Chains A and B, each alone.
Chain A
Amino acid sequence: MNSPDLSNQHRVEEFSALLQSSRRRLYAYIYSMVHNHASADDVIQEVSMVLWRKFGDFTPGTDFVAWAASVARFVVLGWRRRQQKLPLLLEESDLQLLAGSVLQINGEEEFRAEALRGCIQKLPQHYGDLLRARYADELAVSEIAQRTRRSARAIYKMLDRVHTLLLDCVELQRARFHSHTQPGTPAHE
């Protein structure tokens, strides 16, 4: 392995910029294999360190995300092998297929992020509250259920519903975008 040239400030800045601009895509790729945000946080930290140590292997001008994903894949495999207490219901080959599909979505990252923000704005307030509780405040479903005096089952259903709403909304934006940018392609209304 070539180690990075520490005295080369330009190289350091290049790594920093590449990692920062790729982090969201890399996080989605890792999350699609570990399915848990706390674990994804831990894994991406480890991946960042490995990427930095291996940065000498990266060829400038090539696809950084693809290279980072190949490194992340092995880090996730190592992480899975250490998870003896977790039920690992999907096999590694399934996860690779799934993560590969996530990487393809990643190609539309900027557009999707923008569309998602627009879709969140359109949500009824109680769905916005729910997302905040689950994603920003990291409350357990049982805690949300207790605070809102609903059953955990009802909260799970609401979560499923709001995810479906957002997915459909983003997909609709995507279809509209393509219908405008590619004449002749009908929009999916």
Chain B
Amino acid sequence: MNKKLQAEVDQLAGALRENRLEPEQAERLRHIIRHLPEGRRRLAESLHLSAALREEALLAQRPLDFLSRRAFWSRAPFWAGLAAGLALLCGAWFALSQTGRPQRTLAQASPPRLPEQPIAVLVRSVNTRWRSPISPGVTLGAGPLELLTGHAQLDFACGATLIVSGPARFELLDFERVRLNEGRVRVRVSGAQTGFRLLTQSFEVRDLGTEFAVEAGAGGGQMHVLDGAVEISDQLGLRQVAAGAAINYPKGGVPEQIPARSESFVGPVELSRIASDHERDRRSTWEAVAARLQADPALIAHYDFNRPSGWDRTLPNRVPGAPDSTAGAVVGCRWVEGRWPGDGALAFDNPGHRIRIELPGAFRQLTLATWVRVDESQNFCKCLLYSVTELTGQVLWFLYQQGASDSLALAETTGASSQRIHYMGHKALAPHKDLRRWTLFVTTYNLDTREVRHFKDAGLLATHPIPNDNPLSIGRAEIGNAPYENWIKNTKWENRNLTGAMSEFFVVGRALGEKEVAELWEAGHP
């Protein structure tokens, strides 16, 4: 093949690989594929190389000690013959940084990022649905937001508090300016005048130490001064409006003064009442679902993580009639607030924290389900359940970093030489997006259909065939951590605790279906 064509094909392959192919390049590529067999062959070799590099990379980054007693089911066909190649790869692939320190992944290197210019914090969400989901606690930078339903409270860096009611479309412009395109908001500014401004298509409001409310939409808008005074700028010019007054802006018409109506806009007190009602409703819905699951004869364990009284460090198994021996022993973890106010959860924020349990039995079908909030991503492996008993069918259930995100993994020992099979659910925990939010993780193991399924929230993450016929056993196990072993010292496996909190843990002796998982998420998410 001539060098010119080869160079052209290599360049086109690069554009294809990096998703940068322009339409005219695609046209040329089509021609090469159809009419120039040598060029097509080179292109195929280039794509084949990229696939091979990807496989080599995944093999090179596999956890060599903790996970690799046997190949990942989904990853590693050439396991046995690769030791030499891996050594070469690992030798060649040093850290990207010039310091010579081991390369850290993006998730390890960066704590959850603040936006470049933090403008406001989402403090409270009540029954909200956002176009792009965000959770309370998140710091927001400039940009548009769309609240489909519910009510949300945003605290601004300048001291203003904004309560927005959906449906609403608005944009954070900077730390003292918000544009409201559609919806209703109520603004309270603490203390002295801050200069906070709210812009709509028809008018602009500037606070003068006040509380005001605005409604905007395609049909016009309204501005109500509820306390203090504001400065308003509209087609009639710039003027001050005092408490008790409101201005109606009919579409295409002249602004007219009307009496202010506070009750049309949700304020902090009303929001608290709505939040309280909502939380009560959500809690009772969840308790109904949990109660139904508790009546399931297949339920083996349910730890609800509610705080016991006094110094008790026991986590009772809530399954009716469950023997005391199946209760969990809390080691080190501290109690924190769970998914709702008043709901309990345990934080595993120290490498020593763990819950010890013992659940006898071997199961042809098994479901593990838990609500987890991962606060930090720095631990390479975050154990959810680690069976200590060395048996065939021993269970390991954990999150671990693969590339930029964390995968959800179930591992089972297969008996001979404690080999393990790993079933992976990729992209279970996205960096930044999934940190500090309550997530439901569910894994089902079903020897009758020979399928392992991983779920994140209500969605199916992965399905894998089961090659063996080994029932699973839990036996003595740890929740939220793994036992210390000598070999992990100074390795990336040294800390294997959850680095977050857990608010519910179910072990069911049958494989829950997709609908049941969706119901768990629907009823249980905060």
State whether these chains interact: yes
Interface residues, chain A, with chain B CB atoms under 8 Å away: 6, 9, 12-13, 15-16, 19-24, 27-28, 31-32, 35-38, 40-41, 44-45, 48-49, 52, 89-91, 94, 97-98, 101-102, 104-106, 112-114, 116-118, 120-121, 123, 125, 128-133, 135-139, 141, 143-144, 147-148, 156, 159-160, 163-164, 166-167, 170-171
CB contacts (< 8 Å) of A118 on chain B: these are: 88
Given contacts A35-B47, A159-B18, contact A132 B29 (CB under 8 A): no
Q: Apart from A28-B52, A139-B96, what 8 extra A-B contacts exist at CB < 8 Å?
A: A35-B19, A49-B463, A52-B465, A117-B88, A120-B92, A128-B94, A132-B103, A135-B54
Query: DSSP class of B's interface residues: helix, strand, loop or mixed?
Result: helix
User: In the complex, which of the residues B26, B103, B427 contacts A89, with contact meaning CB atoms closer than 8 Å?
Assistant: B26
Cβ-neighbour of A102 out of B47, B60, B85, B465 (below 8 A): B47
B88 touches A121 (CB 8 A): yes
- When chains A and B are docked, how far (Å) is the Cα of A9 from the Cα of B41? 41
Q: Are B77 and A24 in contact (CB under 8 A)?
A: yes
Check B45 for interface membership: any CB of A closer than 8 A: yes
B105 touching A137, Cβ below 8 Å: yes
Interface residue? B71 (CB, 8 A)? yes
Residues of B within 8 A of A (CB): 7, 10-11, 13-14, 16-21, 23, 26, 29-30, 33-34, 40-58, 60-61, 71, 73-78, 84-85, 88-89, 91-97, 103, 105-106, 403-404, 426-427, 448, 450-451, 462-465, 467-469
A-B contact list, 13 entries, CB within 8 Å = A16-B465, A23-B76, A27-B54, A27-B55, A35-B19, A45-B463, A130-B96, A132-B57, A132-B60, A135-B53, A159-B14, A159-B17, A163-B13
Please state if A12 and B468 are interface contacts (CB–CB under 8 Å): yes
Instruction: For A44, give the chain B residue with the smallest CB separation.
Output: B74
Pair B58/A136 contact, Cβ less than 8 Å: yes
Given A90-B29, A117-B56, the answer on whether A20 and B77 have CB atoms closer than 8 Å is: yes
> A23-B77, A117-B56 in contact; A160/B14 too (CB < 8 A)?
yes
Question: Contact at B93–A116, with CB atoms within 8 Å?
Answer: no
Residues of B within 8 A of A139 (CB): 96, 106, 404
> CA of A106 to CA of B34 in the docked complex: distance in angstroms?
20
Shortest beta-carbon distance from A106 to chain B in Å: 8
A contacts with B: majority SS: helix
Chain B residues with Cβ below 8 Å from A144 are 96
Give every chain A residue within 8 A of B469 (Cβ-Cβ).
9, 12
Interchain CB contact (< 8 A) of B57 among A52, A129, A131: A131
A12 to B71: give the CA distance in the assembly, Å. 17
Residues of A within 8 A of B42 (CB): 167
* A48 pairs with B465, CB closer than 8 A: yes
Q: Most chain-A CB neighbours within 10 Å: which of B53, B71, B76, B426?
A: B53
The CA of A19 and the CA of B153, in the complex, are separated in Å by 52
Contact indicator B44/A20 (Cβ below 8 Å): no
> How many angstroms between the C-alpha atoms of A160 and B30 in the bound complex?
20
Across the interface, do B33 and A156 meet the contact criterion of CB distance under 8 Å? no
**B92 engages A128 (CB within 8 Å):** yes
Residues of B within 8 A of A19 (CB): 465
Asked if residues A94 and B89 are in contact (CB atoms below 8 Å), the reply is no
Q: Assuming the A-B contacts A89-B23, A98-B44, A131-B57, are A32 and B51 also in contact, with contact meaning beta carbons closer than 8 angstroms in the complex?
A: yes
The reply to whether B77 and A121 form a contact with Cβ atoms under 8 Å apart is: no
Evaluate contact between A136 and B61: CB separation under 8 angstroms.
Answer: yes
Among A102, A128, A138, the residue within 8 A (CB) of B93 is: A128
User: A143's closest neighbor in chain B, by CB?
Assistant: B106
User: What distance in Å separates the Cβ of B32 from its nearest Cβ neighbour in chain A?
Assistant: 10
B92 touches A15 (CB 8 A): no
A167-B85 contact in complex given A12-B468, A45-B464, C-beta closer than 8 Å: no
Given A121-B92, A131-B57, A137-B105, does the pair A97, B17 have CB atoms closer than 8 Å?
no
In the complex, the answer to whether B34 meets A170 with C-beta atoms within 8 Å is: no
Report the Cα distance A19→B74, complex, angstroms: 9
* A160 touching B11, Cβ below 8 Å: yes
B463 neighbours in A (Cβ, 8 Å): 45, 49
Assuming the contacts A45-B464, A97-B33, A97-B40, asked whether A117 and B89 have C-beta atoms less than 8 A apart, the reply is: yes
The answer to whether A98 touches B106 (Cβ under 8 A) is: no
Out of A27, A49, A94, which one reaches B51, CB within 8 Å?
Answer: A27
Distance (whole angstroms) from the CB of B216 to the closest CB of chain A: 31
B34, B93, B403, B451: most-surrounded residue (chain A CB, <10 A): B93
Q: Find chain B residues with CB under 8 A from A89 CB.
A: 21, 23, 26, 29
For A91, what are the chain B residues with a Cβ–Cβ distance below 8 Å?
A: 30
Of B10, B26, B55, B468, the residue contacting A163 (CB under 8 A) is: B10
The residue in chain A whose Cβ has the minimal distance to the Cβ of B47 is A32
In the complex formed, the residue of A with least CB distance to B33 is A94
Nearest Cβ on chain A to B134's Cβ, whole angstroms: 22
**B465, A94: Cβ atoms under 8 Å?**
no
Nearest 4 pairs of A and B residues by beta carbon: A101-B44, A16-B467, A89-B26, A138-B403
